[in-house]
Amino acid sequence: MNRIPGPRSIAGWRWNMFRFFRNPFAFQRWLYETYGTLSALGQGDKPSTVFAFGPEMNRQILTNPDFFEVSTALVKVPKDTRMGELFYNNLVLMSGEKHRRHRRLMQPAFQQDQIRQYGRDMATITGRLADEWEGRTEIDLNVEMKKLTQRIAVKTLFGVQDEEGMDRMGSLIDRMTRSLLLVTLAPVDIPFTPYHRALRIAEKLHARIRSMIHDKRRDPDETDVLAALIRAHDEDDATLTDEELIGHTFSLYVAGHETTANALTWALFLLVQHPDTYASVMEELNAVLSGSPPTLEQLSELPLLDGVVKESLRLLPPAGIGTRVTAAPCELDGYFLPERTNVFFSQLITHRLPELYEEPDRFKPRRWETIKPSAFEYLPFSAGPHMCIGWHFAMQELKIVLAVLLQRYRFSVVRDARISPNLMMRPVRGMPMRIGRHDGRFERVTVRGSIHQMIEF
Ligand code: HEM
């Protein structure tokens, strides 16, 4: 079989991976335009990393879990510790029958009618954050959105009531996950090392979630996600064990809050940088909501807001690239892939194919009134068996938060700010925003940074 095309520089795989991490979007677009749907990095005939682009590649990779499995090499936390228990009991790292069973057990907690119950919490917590901004003229929107999605996650997942309790729990988890790289590099348990600190935090968290489980078992009326998971039974009446419950709720928190914070940050950025759309969205909100937070019924009466959310997830998806590893030798796009080849699929490139999206680099939320892409043409939440279990939750949260904040403040990006998203769509230098009263003015300001490579304003 033919050799997969791709750059095979003298410096090899490392140099190309460096180029990829330095500018993931430009590198992938260059790969696609130069080599087509499939390209390989590496030296010699054995490809170590393959990039696969477009809906057909997405379909083949995401619907054949027997050949393309989720790589477990991403997390390297010692297994036989409290930290290991937190990190390894989760859907992402499960496969086959075990994954199917756990997903089935968890599904009821994420069905639309269950998630509807969280709508009021989402609006109230957002309103309180907006109160905290009173008197301020400038915020780092990304920092604030992280604070917000963290509070919403802690409240809806664990039922923690007060803001202080939400922040405490959230920051505990964040302190542990932030040190993950150092933990992986040096897992030695001696005082004052990052690993030692992370282990102690993991023990605290573990004990905290376990005691919540204990309390919720006695109170069957609680409505949070953890309570719903405790109630879950499969057809053989099996339930999730305490260890599994702890791991799942922890991973839901980790998987859900930063992605949603970044999605909110970009949706607001793109909206305020497109003054005509911004004005139309405000008209829509005023007509339907007249200043109140949206009820769930009203969310479906806001088609332009829906288009804004979908369009920003298309252009700047918080999970812009996904990865799988070949579980067995297989064929892809007519080429042979050996076992244990890393395969990247790219939401970022798929979402910008001109044959699927007219003027693909432009922010045009009204396109969603007429287009209906397939699951493999539009996949901000991925597709196939590992598709995001929290996608209804996230879509509801994104729309409620935007509706509440847009009605409270007029936003504008700080002039000449440097706006540059990284691989995970975090704006690496933050997102400085001016906030103030509504005055009927909508204008785009000049900004700098790599955002100009990604969006045609
Ligand atoms: C805008 C926000 C979000 C985005 C863009 C997003 C994106 C994704 C993507 C792309 C995947 C699949 C990865 C793959 O195929 O390898 C995924 C999986 C997952 N997400 Fe989300 N997510 C978001 C919010 C959430 C929320 C709010 C939750 C929970 C409350 C959540 C929980 C999960 C879980 C548990 C998985 C693993 C599913 C499995 O392996 O079966 N996500 N997410």
Q: Report the nearest atom of ligand 1 relative to the CA of 398.
A: 1
Q: Parallel, antiparallel, or unpaired: how do β-strands 342-346 and 49-52 relate?
A: parallel
Q: Which residues line ligand 1 (CB under 6 A)?
A: 70, 91-92, 103, 251-252, 255-256, 259-260, 263, 318-319, 322, 380-382, 386, 388-390, 393-394
Q: pLDDT band for 416, please (50, 70, 90 cuts).
A: very high
Give me the pLDDT at residue 35, please. Answer: 94
- Please give the Cα distance from 22 to 69 (Å, whole number): 26
Give me the pLDDT at residue 259, please. Answer: 95
Binding residues for heme: 388
Read off the pLDDT of residues 71-106 as tens digits, 9 standing for 90 and up. Answer: 876 667 778 888 888 888 899 989 999 999 999 999
- Segment 394-401 shows an average pLDDT of 98
What integer best gives the mean pLDDT of the chain? 91
Q: In this structure, what are the phi and psi dihedrals at residue 362, rounded to the nearest 5 degrees?
A: -100, 145
Q: What does each C-alpha distance from 384 to 47, 100, 425 come to in angstroms? A: 25, 12, 23
Q: Mapping DSSP to helix (H, G, I), strand (E, B) and coil, where does residue 119 land?
A: helix
Residues with Cβ within 8 Å of 223's Cβ and at least 6 positions away in sequence, in order, are: 117, 159
Measured over the CA atoms of residue 142, residue 147, residue 148 and residue 154, the dihedral's sign is positive
Give me the pLDDT at residue 170, please. Answer: 82
Q: Report the nearest atom of ligand 1 relative to the CA of 262.
A: 1
Give me the pLDDT at residue 317, please. Answer: 97
Give me the pLDDT at residue 391, please. Answer: 96
Query: What stretches of 102-222 adopt beta strand conformation (E)?
Result: 138-140
Strand partners, 188: none
- Give the distance (Å) from ligand 1 centre to CA of residue 207: 26
Give me the pLDDT at residue 64, please. Answer: 92
Query: What stretches of 329-389 adopt beta strand conformation (E)?
Result: 330-332, 335-337, 342-346
Read off the pLDDT of residues 243-261 as tens digits, 9 standing for 90 and up. Answer: 999 999 989 988 889 999 9
Give me the pLDDT at residue 174, please. Answer: 81
Give me the pLDDT at residue 182, please. Answer: 72
Residues with Cβ within 8 Å of 351's Cβ and at least 6 positions away in sequence, in order, are: 314, 315, 317, 357, 360, 378, 380
* DSSP code at position 448: B
- Please give the Cα distance from 252 to 115 (Å, whole number): 14
> Among 311, 315, 388, 402, which is best to mutate for testing ligand 1, by the most ligand atoms less than 8 A from CB?
388
Q: Which residue puts its alpha carbon closest to atom 3 of ligand 1? A: 259
- Give the distance (Å) from ligand 1 centre to CA of residue 106: 13
Q: Which residue puts its alpha carbon closest to atom 18 of ligand 1? A: 388
Q: What does each C-alpha distance from 236 to 58, 107, 228, 239 come to in angstroms? A: 35, 16, 18, 9
- Give the distance (Å) from ligand 1 centre to CA of residue 381: 6
Query: What stretches of 21-152 adopt beta strand conformation (E)?
Result: 38-41, 49-52, 68-69, 138-140
- Asked if pLDDT for residue 45 goes beyond 70, the answer is no
- Asked if pLDDT for residue 406 goes beyond 70, the answer is yes
- Segment 13-38 shows an average pLDDT of 90
Q: pLDDT band for 215, please (50, 70, 90 cuts).
A: confident
Give me the pLDDT at residue 11, please. Answer: 67
DSSP-assigned states of every residue in 44-78: SSS-SEEEE-SHHHHHHHHS-TTTEE--GGG----
Quickly count: other Cβ atoms within 10 Å of residue 111's Cβ. Answer: 11
- Give the distance (Å) from ligand 1 centre to CA of residue 61: 17
- Give the distance (Å) from ligand 1 centre to CA of residue 104: 16
Q: pLDDT band for 43, please (50, 70, 90 cuts).
A: low
Query: What stretches of 374-419 adopt beta strand conformation (E)?
Result: 410-413
Give me the pLDDT at residue 72, please. Answer: 73
Give me the pLDDT at residue 164, please. Answer: 82
Q: Mapping DSSP to helix (H, G, I), strand (E, B) and coil, where does residue 298 land?
A: helix
Give me the pLDDT at residue 307, please. Answer: 98
Quickly count: other Cβ atoms within 10 Å of residue 121's Cβ. Answer: 19
- Give the distance (Å) from ligand 1 centre to CA of residue 380: 9
Q: Report the nearest atom of ligand 1 relative to the CA of 385.
A: 41
- Asked if pLDDT for residue 177 goes beyond 90, the answer is no
Binding residues: 388
- Segment 208-222 shows an average pLDDT of 86
pLDDT: which is higher, 218 or 128: 128
Q: Report the nearest atom of ligand 1 relative to the CA of 110.
A: 30
Q: Which of 198-212, 220-234, 306-320, 326-340 has the highest mean pLDDT?
A: 306-320
- Please give the Cα distance from 266 to 433 (Å, whole number): 12
- Please give the Cα distance from 59 to 434 (Å, whole number): 42
pLDDT: which is higher, 382 or 43: 382
Which domains can be identified in the chain, with CATH numbers?
53-454 (1.10.630.10)
Give me the pLDDT at residue 289, please. Answer: 98
Q: What does the angle CA 347 – CA 350 – CA 354 come to, to the nearest 5 degrees?
A: 150
By the 8 A CB rule, do 217 and 193 touch?
Answer: no
Measured over the CA atoms of residue 217, residue 220, residue 224 and residue 228, the dihedral's sign is positive
Give me the pLDDT at residue 80, please. Answer: 84
